[in-house]
Structures are given as C-alpha cells and as structure tokens.
Amino acid sequence: MNDANPPVVIVGAGISGLCTALALAKTGLAVTVVERDSPPPSGDPDQAFFEWNRRGAAQFKHPHAFLAVMSNLLQDSFPGLMDDFFAAGARKVTFEDMLPPDLKAKYTPLPGDEKMWLLMCRRATMETVFRRYAEKQDLISIESDTQVTALLSHTDGDQIVIDGISVKTHDEPERDLLSQVLIDAGGRNSKLKTWLQAAGGAIKTEDDDAEIVYFTRHYKLLPGVEEPARGDNKDRSSGDLGYIKYGVFPGEGGHFAVIACLHKEEKALHEAIKSSDQFDLICRNIPGLAPWVAADKAEPTTESFGFGDIHAVWHHFVDAGRAVALNYFAVGDAALRTNPLYGRGCSTGIIHAHLLADTLRDISDPLARALQFHQRTEEELRPIFKASLAEDKKAIRQAKAEINGQVIDSASTAKAWFNAAFGDALSMASTRNIHVLRGIMRTFNLLEKPGDFLKDKRILLTTMAYMLGGRKRNANARKVNGPARQQMLTILTNKQAQQESASA
C-alpha cells in the first residue's frame, strides 16, 4: 500500500472472518476481530464440539468440508496451519480416495491430482484450529464476548462513509472502535447491513429460496470398528433418491455425521426425520448409509437436528459505479451465500477474503477499492453462485415431481432433450472414465469455474460417445439403491404402528 497501514476491524470470528484476518495480516495490515461469542474451550476437539456455545454460527454443528481450492490456499498461504489441522485429527481425502472401486483399480496419478483433496473434520475443530492459529499472529487481535451495538458513519455529500462501530464487552461502558476499514464477516444474520440501510445505504439483494430443509445426526464408530468402504456407484455413501439427498461426512477420531436433505413440502418425511429413531430407521434402509449407522458399527453422539430457511442470496454493494458505502466491505455469508448442501460456503469465503486482501494491498483510494472489490467478486464468485442457483432450481423441480408422483418431461423442446441427454451421458461417463470424473471433480472443488471442464475436447467427445448408448441406459448412472418414496413412507408408518401397539 502507498499509505500507512490503516486500522482494520473485522466483525465476526467465524471461518470467513478468521480467513480474512489471516489474509490481511499476511499483507502487513494490523487487524482487530470483534466476536460476540466466547472463545473455544482450551481442551480437545470433543470438548469444543460438545461444550462450546457458538450462538453466532447457525450451522456450527452441521457438517463442513474444505474443498480443494480452500485446502490448497490454506496450505500455501499460512505456514504450519495445515499441520495444526492434522494434529487435531482432521482428515485429508485425496482424489484417489474419492474414486469408486472399479475406477480406483485402474487409477494412474496425473500432475495436478495432488491438488484435488478435501479437508474434513467437525466445524468446531475447524474454528478452534483457526482461532488458535490466528491468536499467535502478531498483527491479529481478537476481542471475544463483545457485542456490536451500532454502526458509525458520516456523509460526504451524498456518499455514506463508515467510521467504525460501537461495541460493548461485559459490564464495561459502551465504546467506539474507529477504523479506516470495516469488514463485515458477521454471517447471514449480520446486523451491519440493517444499520447501513437505516443510514440510507440502498443495498440491492437477490434472494431465492432453495426450498429445502436438511437434518444432521452425529455418530462415532465403536471401538475396533473400521470405517466402512465408501461403496460402489449404486451403494455409495452419498446420493440422491429423488425425494431425499443424503451423505456421510467423515470427521476426526472416528466421528462422522450423516445429513439427509428434503424438500420443505415433504411434510410426512419432514416430521419423521425430526425423531432420532426415525432418522436412524431412514438411514438403515438406504444401502449406502446402512453400514455406517448399524447398531454394531456406530453409536450416535447427538440427536437429529435440522436447518432451514436456506436461500441463495447475493447482496450488491455497488450499483452503476456507485458504492453503497465507503470503507465497508462484506465477506462470506454477509455478502453472498449458496445452498450449503453443495459445501461451497467456506471455500467461497476464503476466496473472498483473499480478493479483499489483494484489493486493500493494491489500492488506497476508498471508492476505487469498493469498485475493484466489487468487480473481482463478480468475476470470481458470480459464476459459482449462478451454477449453485441453477442446481437449486433443478432440484426443486425434481422434488416437487416426486411429491406429486410425476415424471419430469425434460424433452419438451429439442434443446431441452439434448441438454437432458447430455447430462445423463456425462453422469454415466463419470462413473466409467477417470478423465471425465477428474474434470467434474475439478469443478466441484472450485479449482476452475463451473463448466470449464467441458472445454476439454476429450471430455466432450467421450460424453458425446456415451450419448450414443441412449438416455435410458445413461440415466441409470444417477440412480442409487434405496427404497422409493412411497416405500420409505410405508416403512416409517409400519414402524410407528409397531411402536404404538407395543406401548398400548
């Protein structure tokens, strides 16, 4: 930067807030992070998971994973941080680990495959490791148990300029915390945007309901039990039965979580899955989950609990070349969010953090900073947002068809037929051809923009060749073993009747 290091304040010490603090400190900026919650307990990962009251993170106990883009950024940017994760028990899941058995048997590593890996552990472990690493950095100060009570601003002509925030800690008097740069990492429920709007800031927002709810239950493998194989294409540990999406998230120390995602209009299943016993019953009737949750394999460590109000949201802080406010920057969920089912939130958060760090390092003028950060955000994150939103719309159509006992007519036009046929062929090719799967996984891991893998002529030609096999055969690639919707409802109804009869 051309001028002296400005005081920077970040609101929120979640994953996006800490990633931003680390990225800024790496450029030489001193950062104060304000967090409403208490710091993590001093003990091990289990103590953090079971005892840390993390009110400010709505998805704190739901599964998380760091996609490859984030895992590599952390490894390359912050010396020793990845070692801290592994010391805490975090798992490295490589591209080879993700391959189904038939593809793994003929796998030959290629350059770049080493970059395609996930980091997996419970979010409590993630935040604890981040927090302890950040606390060791000379340029980062964290104020916990501190409430933000007001946004401080003034106007310069008709332009809002942010001066800082007012805060209150315990029984201390309210005080002003002034800053030249204020960063909102307060998540989807951050109050700063509301206060900014009250000050006259016109924030345009795109908001699309994903129309889902999802439920989680955590388990731990019993002593001496090996982690089950991840299953073949039909019995894999994650999949979509049309009316329910499911997945296993392995964690550290034998812990793992299972998620089950439903359309919000699946009333009967929604009610059933709230019950931990019914949650287990559903899982034990899905072949890909049964080996994980069998009574002789694992024991639950939590009840079943849900998460709803899931939306794809994009807040616009620049409109027609005009910034809503100067010296204010929102990152992570405070700026944009996608359906957490796709696991992109943490990764887009760290990308956003580094975009902001680069902007503040390169540019000193407040308006130019705002415009440049807006442009970089649009270029890097907008394609991910749009792809996620398209997936939401497709899933909504499929779920509603399942509920109504209908088959989606995806061949109403020649273009629609081709797109559906191509998608089916791509799914089939990904189960049979490592090169195709490699391309898809690069997109999944955000190592390239959505759809870029289709620029690979080999992938394109391979997929076109699979189209010749016909849609009926190719459509089978999407299917996983498990009961149809009505069968599952019958299983649950019969179990409920047995329980009521036994208690009569």
Residues 84-113: tens digit of each pLDDT = 999 999 999 999 999 988 899 989 999 999
For residues 69 and 65, what is the distance between their CA atoms, to the nearest angstrom? 11
Helical segments of 99-213, H only: 101-104, 123-135, 192-198
Domains 1-64+122-206+311-404 and 211-307 share a fold: no
What confidence tens digit (pLDDT) does each residue in 41-69 have? 998 999 999 999 998 787 889 988 899 99
- Chain position carrying tokens 């995602």: 261
Asked if residue 231 lies in contact with residue 98, where contact means CB atoms within 8 angstroms, the answer is no
Q: What span, in angstroms and rounded, lies between the C-alpha atoms of 153 and 151?
A: 7
Residue 322's DSSP bridge partners are 319
The arithmetic mean of pLDDT across residues 293-314, rounded, is 95
pLDDT band at 461 (very low <50, low <70, confident <90, very high): very high
Asked whether residue 425 carries a pLDDT value surpassing 90, the answer given is yes
Q: Count CB neighbours of 36 within 10 A.
A: 17
Q: Which long-range contacts (CB under 8 A, 24 or more apart) does 342-345 make?
A: 342/388, 342/391, 343/64, 343/65, 343/67, 344/67, 344/384, 344/388, 344/446
The answer to which of 118-132, 239-253, 365-379, 414-428 has the lowest mean pLDDT is: 414-428
Q: Output the pTM of the full model.
A: 0.93
3-state secondary structure of 220: strand
Categorize the per-residue pLDDT at 4 as very low, low, confident or very high, splitting at 50, 70 and 90.
Answer: very low
High-pLDDT (> 70) share of the chain, %: 97
Instruction: Write out the DSSP string of 473-504.
Output: HHHGGG--SS--HHHHHHHHHHHHHHHHHHH-
Looking at domain 211-307, its CATH class is alpha beta
pLDDT one-digit tens code per residue, 311-363: 999 999 999 899 999 999 999 999 999 999 899 999 999 999 999 999 999 99
Angle at 224 between CA 219 and CA 229, to 5 degrees: 65
pLDDT value, residue 346: 93
Mean local confidence (pLDDT), 424-431: 92
In the Cβ-directed half-sphere of 9, how many Cα atoms lie within 13 Å?
23
pLDDT at residue 260 in the model: 96
Residue-level length of the chain? 504
Q: What is the average per-residue pLDDT within 11-15? A: 96
Question: Which spans in 363-455 are helix H?
Answer: 366-403, 414-432, 434-444
Does residue 157 carry a pLDDT above 80? yes
In 73-197, at which residue ranges do the beta strands (DSSP E only) sit?
A: 91-94, 117-120, 140-143, 146-156, 159-169, 175-178, 181-184
| CB distance 35 to 12 below 8 Å | yes
Q: How far is CA 49 from CA 60, 211, 369, in A?
A: 9, 28, 38
User: pLDDT band at residue 2, thresholds of 50, 70 and 90?
Assistant: very low
Say yes or no to pLDDT of 471 above 90: no
* Beta bridge partners of residue 259, listed in sequence order: 216, 247
Which pLDDT value is given to residue 403? 86
- The alpha carbons of the chain give a radius of gyration, in whole angstroms, of 24
- DSSP β-ladder status, 181-184 and 8-11: parallel
Give helix then strand counts, H and E, for the chain: 18, 22
Rounded-to-integer distance, Cα 218 and Cα 252, Å: 12
Given a contact cutoff of 8 angstroms between Cβ atoms, the answer to whether 474 and 467 are in contact is yes
Residue 5 has pLDDT above 90, yes or no: no
3-state secondary structure (DSSP) of residue 254? coil
Give the whole-angstrom CA distance, residue 195 versus residue 183: 14
**Chain centroid offset of residue 242 CA:** 21
SS3 72: helix
Q: Is the pLDDT of residue 1 over 60?
A: no
- Of the candidates 65, 66, 72, 37, the one whose C-alpha atom is nearest the C-alpha of residue 51 is 37
Q: What is the largest CA-CA distance in the chain?
A: 78
- What kind and span of H or E run contains 256? strand 255-263
Mean pLDDT score of the chain, rounded to an integer? 92
Query: What is the assigned CATH class of domain 1-64+122-206+311-404?
Result: alpha beta
Per-residue model confidence (pLDDT) at position 140: 97
Q: Using the 8-state DSSP alphabet, how is residue 334 labeled? A: G
In the chain, domain spans: 1-64+122-206+311-404, 211-307, 414-478
The three-class DSSP label of residue 26 is: helix
pLDDT at 40: 95
Instruction: Summarize pLDDT for 129-147 with one digit per residue, the tens.
Output: 999 999 999 999 999 999 9
CB 408 within 8 A of CB 397: yes
State mean pLDDT over 484-503.
86
CB atoms within 10 A of CB 48: 23
Q: Which amino acid does the sequence have at 348? A: T
Token digits for 22?
Answer: 């680390």
Beta 31-34 vs 140-143: how paired, if at all?
parallel
